[in-house]
Structures are given as C-alpha cells and as structure tokens.
A and B are shown apart, each in its own frame.
Chain A
Amino acid sequence: DAGVIQSPRHEVTEMGQEVTLRCKPISGHDYLFWYRQTMMRGLELLIYFNNNVPIDDSGMPEDRFSAKMPNASFSTLKIQPSEPRDSAVYFCASSGQFNQPQHFGDGTRLSIL
C-alpha cells in the first residue's frame, strides 16, 4: 500500500521566494494534517482538513502561510514570501476516521537562505 507521499523531499530557495509543498494522502483517508518540525518547537500542528475542508488553522504561524486541499488526493502548503525562519522539516499526515492513528509522509526539508 502506498503511504503518504510528499514532494519535494528537499527544497532550498532564497528569501522572498514562493515555496509550495505537496502532499498526497493515503487513499480513503478523510483527514489530512500539516506539521512543522524545528529544533526549538519540536513537532507542531499547522492545519488540518476533514473531507477537503479546513477545520483548524490556528497553528498557521502567519498570513504568509496558506494551505489548500482541492480534492481528496492532493494538498498544498504554500509560503509566500518565504523567510529564513521558515526553515524546517514539514510533514504531511493522514488518517481515516476520528481518532485513528495518523500516518506520516517522509517530510520536506526546507531551507530558506
């Protein structure tokens, strides 16, 4: 079975550029989550969707961050404009019904120069 697929695995870009991270959840999963991992703050939830609808975006750090889920098999997390402090590993996860374990992708390592 294919797991959660994230692309790209690594992204290096200059400050001020737009960054788009992509995620394909496990087929049939109704919930999709975006997390960020940093040394200072650990793993923190940014936003999650249920049936393609954003449910809670209280973890999104600033208006520079936005996320969409146009259909059940695809989501994007966009940062515009990017800043060096956005450098982190971004994970996408999906799960089936309520309170089932979340399954994570292998992450995108983002470096903003």
Chain B
Amino acid sequence: DQQVKQNSPSLSVQEGRISILNCDYTNSMFDYFLWYKKYPAEGPTFLISISSIKDKNEDGRFTVFLNKSAKHLSLHIVPSQPGDSAVYFCAASGSDYKLSFGAGTTVTVRA
C-alpha cells in the first residue's frame, strides 16, 4: 500500500524556468519529509528535508513546501539547470524512522 505518492512520472522544463514536483502522503503519523535526487547507476542523493513543525524550507535553488492539512508537499527548483535532469524521490517517515518512498518523478531540463 503506497503511503507516499508521486502522481507525475515525468516533468519536462526549459532551462532557467521553475520546476515544481509534487508529492502526496496518506499516513498522518509522518512527521519528517525528504527529497532525494538520483542519477542512473548511482544511489539516491539527499537534497532537502522538512519537519512537520515547518511549512517551508529553503536551500539555495531548492525549496520544499509542506501543507499538512492537505498531506501534500512540493519541491521547487529555481532556476532549473541541465544538471538537474534526474529522478526525484519524495520520502517520509514517522517516529519509527522508517522511510517510505514515492515512485519518483523523472525531470528533464531542456536547453
């Protein structure tokens, strides 16, 4: 049973524009959320996280927004760069510290 859902399998964006990736979750006990980026033949790389006590966290070009009432989070990448082309995974955990991952969104940044 998928507790973390990324409903868009792919996203194509022009270089310099904003990329917005979405993620929904069903488990109200989740209190820690993360985004990972993955290139082919490599492991996922941590990008940014947010705890449930916040609604926004920013790190350079990456911003994560959390809407607890809607059980929704999003990742904004501004501006998008060619090196951002990768698969992005949303993940969440509760007090048991077990990460549940979404299926991933493949981002392609066009020159």
Interface set of A (CB-CB < 8 Å, partner B): 4, 31, 33, 42-45, 48, 56, 91, 93, 98-99, 101-107
In angstroms, how far is the closest chain B Cβ from the Cβ of A33?
8
Asked if B98 and A104 sit within 8 Å, CB to CB, the answer is no
Do residues B43 and A4 form an inter-chain contact, with CB atoms below 8 A? yes
Measured CB to CB, the nearest residue on chain A to B48 is A101
Chain A residues, Cβ within 8 Å of B41: 106
Do A106 and B99 have beta carbons less than 8 Å apart? no
Shortest CB distance B14–A (Å): 28
B32 adjacent to A107 (CB under 8 Å): no
Given contacts A4-B43, A105-B43, contact A48 B49 (CB under 8 A): no
A101 in contact with B34 (CB, 8 Å): yes
Q: Which of B34, B43, B45, B98 meets A45, CB within 8 Å? A: B98
Given the interface pairs A42-B104, A99-B32, the reply to whether A106 lies near B42 with Cβ below 8 Å is: yes
Whether B43 and A98, one on each chain, are in contact in the complex, defined by CB atoms closer than 8 angstroms, is no
- Please provide the chain B residues from 35 to 53 with a CB less than 8 Å away from any CB of chain A in the complex: 36, 41-46, 49, 51
Q: Once the chains are docked, how many angstroms separate the CA of A107 from the CA of B51?
A: 27
Q: A99-B93, A104-B44, A106-B42 are in contact. Are A42 and B103 (CB under 8 A)?
A: yes
Name the A residues within 8 Å of B46 (CB-CB): 101-103
Return the chain B residue nearest A6 by Cβ. B43
B51 to A: closest C-beta gap in Å? 8
Q: Can you sample 19 A-B contacts with CB below 8 Å?
A: A4-B43, A31-B97, A42-B101, A42-B104, A43-B101, A44-B101, A45-B98, A45-B100, A91-B43, A99-B93, A101-B46, A102-B46, A103-B46, A104-B43, A104-B44, A104-B45, A106-B42, A107-B42, A107-B43
Contacts of A31 in B (CB 8 A): 97
Nearest B residue to A43, CB-CB: B101
